[in-house]
Amino acid sequence: MPIIINKDTFELDIRKSDMPIVIDVYATWCGPCQQMKPIFAELENEFAGRCKFASLNVDEARDISIMFGVTSVPTFIFYSNGEMQSKDTGYMSKEALRARIEDFIQAA
């Protein structure tokens, strides 16, 4: 289960993480976001021990979404060493997101 990001957990769970993190920025009203949920969960299992996975609801953590410059959902933020490394926006196939995460982990 991904880490749920909010203003209380952000500093400890994200900024101070010793592992690379993939953050799924979503909204409950977003169709493509809901389609990505099972894909994100499957990839979390595949990458267990190599990368952490987190979820950020734009409606519940608007200030953090703004800090990351999120303008649409779904957005995937790749975060390591205390800062955002990159982000991708929009629906992705499982294979495309898997490849993106693999590249991210190798570069982190």
Q: Which domains does the chain have, with CATH numbers?
A: 3-100 (3.40.30.10)
Which burial class, exposed, middle or buried, applies to 105 when counting CB atoms under 10 A from its CB (0-12, 13-18, 19+)?
A: middle
CA torsion through residues 24, 27, 28, 33, sign: negative
pLDDT tens series, the chain, 108 aa: 889 998 888 888 888 889 999 999 999 999 999 999 999 999 999 999 999 999 999 999 999 999 999 999 999 999 999 899 999 999 999 999 999 999 999 998
Active site residue 33: yes
Name which of 81, 76, 83 is nearest 98 in CA terms: 76
Active site residue 51: no
Q: Please pick, among 3, 14, 21, 33, the residue that the annotation labels catalytic.
A: 33
Structure token digits, residue 55: 């979820």
Q: Please pick, among 9, 17, 30, 32, the residue that the annotation labels catalytic.
A: 30
